Structure 1
């Protein structure tokens, strides 16, 4: 594990120092109190961190750059042993997922406050939190001093058979979502990031399903069952095509997404879901409207099902994605993770 500095995140000199001084001058004096002991997890491979030095997080910060998930777990245990009051995640959605997953057994439901710096390619969590696309560290730390927080709960994923491992994240996708993520990586390589990448990926998937562009994977159903609640009642199916498989299933505890999407009809403290049975042309022609929350009473007739529950069991014959990471097929239980305090402007 690479430690950038035991207590310093960089050198506070020159233009950066002047910018921080100017930023703080705009803040009320009451917000300039002492920061808690801070543990910073920096991912140097994140999109906006590449080829850049670590930023300065104050004299009371422990900055680490783990090279593996095991090193990350050791760092988080060290944070807990030292009694950090703030964890800074300097990376994207995947870094957030890894921190929440590796820290679950360490912090359980007693997590410190969490500050996320949007340094990834899409930063869906940051969109939901309403964070600026470029959030200067000085401004973010002033928000910490001001005590400005909001609560979010991740999805806790637990395998019910030998496949997979426990994890925590905010966006789970199955079915065609898996190859769509691969298409998204192509969009990233072509220079599309943030909402542009999400929009380009969505448009490509819709056009492929409508007109058969690309391989047959865009116009097929995937073997899956979605069982909701403690009673494990199966989510309704329209009977389209084979009457069993589904085209795509998305689940999340977030409400706002990149590119203006908000496809879930979610109750508080529940996991929202949207499941599409088959990529019929009628359904795909309304995909953009549905993704932006435009579903109505006719949506279910098109094989689109929306709702929420406190827990699910997924039975999947194909891999699925949690915040950008692939997981193998199998049976999984989804439940609400701990309530986490995220720092917001």
Structure 2
């Protein structure tokens, strides 16, 4: 078997046309078409793929599915023999596919991959590796993480009244704008602006210790809609993990939001102590609230502490 496909029928777009795709994909791939019904079953399927040395795994789902599959692969495959990955954008969130996945999906994308995998372009990335120092959870891989205000905004974006009216990629952007607009209302303003206690170490050096409105980190190199809320301050330039920390009660928040939604970081923003961004190989984050990884919520554990580092290198085949 040279190609396997892991299909999530519960992903947003697959709920609309997944049955037809499943029939066609099964005819094309035979026992290489996999539809796990649980995390445990997916682990068993990936174990069998590793036993058979399958060199290419396609994922038909959203960011959460991609994170789950990458995590399973990293746990089971030898690190020096990881398979290439191809991502079809079929979920609620498709940030990962926008950067390193296919622009198309469905049977056309699968046929293109099946017939031309050897000559299609390939990008390499080291995903975020999130570990819990106390060992409360197993290490996970992902691409986009957020804490404090981001976790609150995603909770709103996942609510049915938002997802009902907009695709999730648009709903997240609309929700972030709406969240900042909510600062105009006195009752909500202080809760959002005060943020959460947060400490951050960057490559072993303490950088932040105080209230924070927002924290983001990613191993991606671009996001949807031209949004890019990261830059290098000149203080931190190691590694490929981008991060942004916004302090509590930040000055010029609406102006900063407008600039970053357009992928710009003007000089005043880079020089402001309320906004800190850079690149690193390892981040140690302490924050009491839950965090979000690729659209899924996780607890930071009893110590409220997680380590974000560079994971193993994957090759991502795309069109």
TM-score bracket for this pair, using the shorter chain length: 0.7 to 0.9
Q: Distance in 2 between matches of 1:254 and 1:339?
A: 13
Query: In structure 1, which of residues 108, 114, 131 is the aligned counterpart of residue 85 of structure 2?
Result: 114
Determine helix, strand or coil for the equivalent of 2:32.
strand
Larger deviation: 41-50 or 143-152? 143-152
**Does 1:235 pair with 2:183?**
no
More helix by share: 2
1:286 lines up with 2:256 in the alignment: yes
TM-score (norm 1): 0.80
Task: Report if the CA contact (8 A) 2:12-2:92 is conserved.
Answer: yes
- C-alpha distance in 2 between matches for 1:251 and 1:162: 21
User: d(CA) in 1 for partners of 2:317 and 2:117?
Assistant: 6
Match of 2:224 in 1: 258
Q: How many residues align?
A: 302
What CA distance in whole angstroms lies between the structure 2 residues aligned with 1:194 and 1:139?
27
CA 1:106/1:169 → structure 2, altered by over 3 Å: closer, same or farther?
same
Structure 1 residues 44 and 277: CA distance shift in structure 2, 3 A: same
Write out per-residue CA displacement over residues 147-179 of structure 1, whole angstroms, 9 at most, x where no aligned residue: 421111100111012544311000010111111
Kindly provide the CA deviation profile for residues 177-196 of structure 1, in whole angstroms up to 9, marking residues without a partner as x.
11111111136532311542
| Contact kept in structure 2, 1:223 and 1:318, CA below 8 Å | no
2: CA distance between counterparts of 1:134 and 1:212?
45
Distance 1:214 1:133, change over 3 A: farther
Q: 1:195 to 1:259 in 2, by over 3 A?
A: farther
SS of equivalent residue, structure 2 residue 14: coil
The question of 1:203 aligning with 2:203 is answered no
In structure 2, the residue matched to 1:56 is 25
Unaligned runs of 5+ in 2: none
CA contact (8 A) 2:144 2:216 kept: yes
Q: Please, which of 295, 303, 311 is the counterpart of residue 282 of structure 2?
A: 311
CA drift at 1:197: 1.8
Q: Match for residue 272 of structure 2?
A: 301
Q: Using a 3 Å threshold, how does the CA distance of structure 1 residues 203 and 292 change in structure 2: closer, same or farther? A: same
Matched, 1:248 2:211: no
Map of 2:291 onto structure 1? 320
Moved more, 92-101 or 179-188: 179-188
Seen in structure 2, the aligned counterparts of structure 1 residues 259 and 217 have a Cα distance that, compared at 3 Å, is farther
Distance 1:215 1:278, change over 3 A: closer
* Contact kept? 1:108, 1:338, Cα under 8 Å: no
Corresponding residue for residue 175 of structure 1: 148
Tell me the C-alpha RMSD between the 2 structures. 2.3
- The answer to whether structure 1 residue 150 and structure 2 residue 119 are counterparts is no
What does the per-residue CA deviation read over 1:76-97, in whole Å, with 9 as the maximum and x for residues that have no partner?
Answer: 0011111212101111100000
CA gap of 1:287–1:120, structure 2 versus 1, over 3 A, is same
Q: Is the 8 A contact 2:154 2:172 kept in 1?
A: no
Matched, 1:87 2:53: no
SS at match of 1:84: coil
The correspondence for 1:219, drawn from 193, 198, 202, is: 193
Q: Distance in 1 between matches of 2:225 and 2:147?
A: 20
Shift of 1:41: 0.9
**Higher alpha-carbon deviation: 165-174 or 98-107:** 98-107
Shift of 1:293: 2.9
Q: Which residue of 1 aligns with 2:8?
A: 43
| Conservation of the 8 A alpha-carbon contact between 1:194 and 1:258 | no
Matches within 5 A, 1:90-109: 90-109=60-79
